[in-house]
Amino acid sequence: MNLNDRYEMSLGLLTDLYQLTMAQGYWKKEMAEQEAVFHLFFRKNPFQGGYTVCAGLADAIDFLQHLKFTEDDLAYLSSLQGSRQQPLFEAGFLDYLRDLKFTCQVDAIPEGTLVFPNEPLLRITGPILQCQLVETPLLNIINFQTLVATKAARIVDAAKGDRVIEFGMRRAQGPDGALSAARAAFIGGIGATSDVLAGKIFNIPVKGTHAHSWVMSFEEEQEAFAAYADVFPHDATFLVDTYHTIEGIKKAIAVAKQLRAQGAELQGVRLDSGDLAYLSKEGRKLLDEAGFPDVSIVASNDLDEYLIESLKLQGARIDTWGIGTKLVTAYDQPALGGVYKLAALRKKTGEWEYKLKLSEQLIKISTPGIQQVRRFYNEDGFVADMIFSKEQPIGTSATIVDPSDITKRKTITAGIAHQDLLIPVFKAGELVYECPTLKAIQEYAKQQVNQLHPSIRRFLNPHIYPVGLEEQLNNKKLSIIMQLRESE
């Protein structure tokens, strides 16, 4: 089920008001069809990490495919008033929107690819009015899903092969936050979700246990376990910490013996509070001594990659990790901070004029030109990424310059294998890209993470993966900066 089907309404107005006022300005000043190039990128890896997992492209594609303004949308826009109670939007501009058809070229980095600061995840080329209109929804879609996919990949990395389940729907930012988070978390490597609607829409495996309320609704804890096992004899996992965890595990074992006598097996016990390292070790001992070595120990309770790593260092005997709040809300960094910047405008002469956003903050100075990202790699994995201009030929060897410190340079020797990451998705508004299955994206993301050196994957003070501007593009950027500074 795609994005528009989920909402069953036009998403043409899923944007900021200033995108539409600028669009009317372009139309009014006869600039609407002037060709422009915009790039969507972010400035820092999230979670103080060493990498980011790109996600959200399928929903972005669906949005662009269905971009339109319905009569209902236009009626609403016509009702908006300016500060003097005059119509905010002119009738002629609304007629323009009525006939609008998306005709841009879109190049994108496929979902599941590892990406790094300043690299364009999307390049939008086409009439400036159209490029402008899609800024907000593209950022909305790509920012959040990329953030959650990255968090999920880190959590899965910490779990070291253990099963990880997304349990966060009840803490997510609304229904769409829950659905988008479940999708993105699966890309990052999560094995299942508790969100049944996400399971239906995205074909993600669904898993769950029961709540404390189930246990509390019976007179005795063991009676609650037995009742649940009677309903789900082959799919029972008991939540054992409602009253006293160790005693709860003992009662779960008693019911497990009854199940076995009936030809069924208990699937697991879940710990949701307390000292998870101690309780899991004691629980494993009890289960093993009772003859249930295959019963899984599931842990939840506000877990993230740091707690998982810590619990593993403490020797915790946990097989499955249920991750909720810290994943779906990207708790320790609630926004990616992706931006969308104009990088080039086609002049009347047909030549491109490079554009740059200047700032007193070095990190906020954008990169001009029509950009592509080239990844270099060898048999050991990824070596470096180069952001370069499509208009400038690159020699057999190249030098990349760190945009945050131009004294830091790396030479890429001739003959090293490489791949250009931005690939065509739309040409003249027509879709030319076939989206992989979500499972295929997940497998691709896993392969990508495995191509990184462990020092870049670590959570504390990760090594910085080399990413830089190709030297000629860097020199062009510096030249434009100097010109702008001199004109101030």
Instruction: Tell me the pLDDT tens digit for each residue of 88-139.
Output: 999 999 999 999 999 999 999 999 999 999 999 999 999 999 999 999 999 9
DSSP readout, 245-302?
A: HHHHHHHHHHHHHHHHHTT----EEEE-SS-HHHHHHHHHHHHHHTT-TT-EEEE-SS
Q: Is 415 exposed, middle or buried (0-12, 13-18, 19+ CB in 10 A)?
A: exposed
Dihedral over Cα of 466, 467, 468, 470: its sign: positive
Strand order in the sheet with 381-389: 409-412, 398-401, 467-470, 381-389, 371-378, 417-420
> What's the pLDDT score for residue 486?
83
> What's the pLDDT score for residue 272?
96
Task: Output the CA torsion 288→294→300→305 (10° steps).
Answer: 100
Residues of the chain with pLDDT below 50 are none
For residues 68 and 52, give the distance between their C-alpha atoms in angstroms, rounded to a whole number: 32
Decide the pairing of beta strands 320-323 and 163-166. parallel
How many other CB atoms sit within 10 Å of the CB of residue 248? 25
Q: Of 379, 434, 354, 343, which Cα lies nearest the Cα of 38?
A: 343
Longest dimension (CA), the chain: 86
For residues 287 and 73, give the distance between their C-alpha atoms in angstroms, rounded to a whole number: 61
Structure tokens at 242: 């409602």
> What's the pLDDT score for residue 185?
98
Dihedral over Cα of 136, 137, 141, 144: its sign: positive
Distance set, CA 258 to CA 167, 225, 248, 282 (Å): 29, 11, 16, 22
> What's the pLDDT score for residue 4?
64
DSSP readout, 348-391?
A: TTS-EEE-----SSGGGPPPPS-EEEEEEEETTEEEEEEEEETT
For residues 25 and 37, give the distance between their C-alpha atoms in angstroms, rounded to a whole number: 18
Rg of the chain on CA atoms, in Å: 26
For residues 194 and 206, give the distance between their C-alpha atoms in angstroms, rounded to a whole number: 5
Which phi and psi angles does 257 have, rounded to 5°? -65, -40
Please say whether the beta carbons of 409 and 417 come within 8 A.
no
Please say whether the beta carbons of 105 and 16 come within 8 A.
no
Chain-centroid distance of CA 224 in Å reads 39
> What's the pLDDT score for residue 8?
75
Q: Of 352, 345, 425, 434, which Cα lies nearest the Cα of 105?
A: 425
Position 269, amino acid: V
Structure tokens at 38: 């915009």
> What's the pLDDT score for residue 7?
72
Collapse the DSSP code of 160 into the 3-class scheme (helix H, G, I; strand E, B; otherwise coil) and give the result.
coil
